[in-house]
Amino acid sequence: MNFRYFFTLLLFTTFSCEQQKPTKEPLHEDIRVLPELNLERYNVAFLIMDGTFNTEFTAPFDIFQHTKFREGIKAMNTFTVANTLKPITTFEGVRILPDFDYTKDELPRIDILVVPSAEHSMDKDLKDTTMLNFIKKIDKTSLYMTSHCDGAFLLAKSGILDSVASTTFPSDIENYKKMFPNLDVKDNVLFVHDDKYITSAGGAKSFEAALYLCEILYGEKITESLAKGLVIDWDLEQVPHLTVQ
């Protein structure tokens, strides 16, 4: 073999291999993107955690998020809060990236707190003093505190439901009464509104409780429009509920 040819081939091969070495630099950087919060709107925070059930989170989120497409009202900013910025995995396996970490971040004003049900709402979550203290803190300045399904257990454990009527998931009513014997617990209703607290049976009926809050804030016409946009037949008079005056 011609020596000059061999030497040229060797240089080319070496150069090509060096070019193909994987770079040690990351292909992308993790950049945190905060939600855009319009200062003229209500701030609605959704408290999520591992094991959150999809429907109790997504149903009110859908309703409230759609308010920004209605003119002439004070619409809602919707965002999530958790005890981490790492992805939250719902009970059904959906991964959600929280907007704020309530244990570390400086949070925006929260006008409405939504507490969905989660896999451990009736056991280990009730021992999470950091989360319970967060709920109590928000309660001091919020306009409304809401829960869906077993999210009521967290509100009750925090002590904020002690003087009001409330409800929870139908098959967990007895456990709710047993765990919190001093509460005024209502059955056979889809949601209860007492003072600034709205607790609902949850599931697909979380839509109704969210629409009810919209009717309080925006009136019947806007609420019917929101319901129609999600193909929901809305008539408050046909929804079993209790409003404590």
In CATH, what number is assigned to the domain containing residue 76? 3.40.50.880
Q: In this structure, is residue 16 part of a structural domain?
A: no
Q: In this structure, is residue 173 part of a structural domain?
A: yes
Q: In this structure, is residue 184 part of a structural domain?
A: yes
Number of domains in the chain: 1
> Given this model, what pLDDT does residue 31 score?
78
| Residue whose C-alpha is closest to residue 59's, from 243, 210, 234, 171 | 210
Per the structure, the complete domain to which residue 216 belongs is given by 38-244
Q: In this structure, is residue 205 part of a structural domain?
A: yes
DSSP 236: G
Q: What is each CA distance from 83 to 31, 86, 128, 142, 203, in whole angstroms?
A: 19, 9, 10, 19, 24
And the tokens for 243? Answer: 């409003």
Q: H-helix or E-strand containing 126?
A: none
Check the CA dihedral 33-34-35-36 and report its sign. Answer: negative
Give the tens place of pLDDT for each residue, 134-176.
999 999 999 999 999 999 999 999 999 999 999 999 999 999 9
Are 60 and 21 in contact by the 8 Å Cβ rule? The answer is no
Q: In this structure, is residue 178 part of a structural domain?
A: yes
What is the pLDDT confidence band of residue 102, given thresholds at 50, 70 and 90?
Answer: very high
Are 195 and 145 in contact by the 8 Å Cβ rule? The answer is no
Q: In this structure, is residue 30 part of a structural domain?
A: no
Mean pLDDT (the chain, rounded): 91
Q: What is the pTM of this model?
A: 0.87
What is the pLDDT confidence band of residue 28, given thresholds at 50, 70 and 90?
Answer: very low
What share of the chain has pLDDT > 70, as a percent?
87
Give the tens place of pLDDT for each residue, 125-136.
999 999 999 999
And the tokens for 201? Answer: 């049976």
Q: In this structure, is residue 120 part of a structural domain?
A: yes
- pLDDT of 58 strictly over 80: yes
What is the pLDDT confidence band of residue 100, given thresholds at 50, 70 and 90?
Answer: very high
Q: In this structure, is residue 186 part of a structural domain?
A: yes
Are 90 and 53 in contact by the 8 Å Cβ rule? The answer is yes
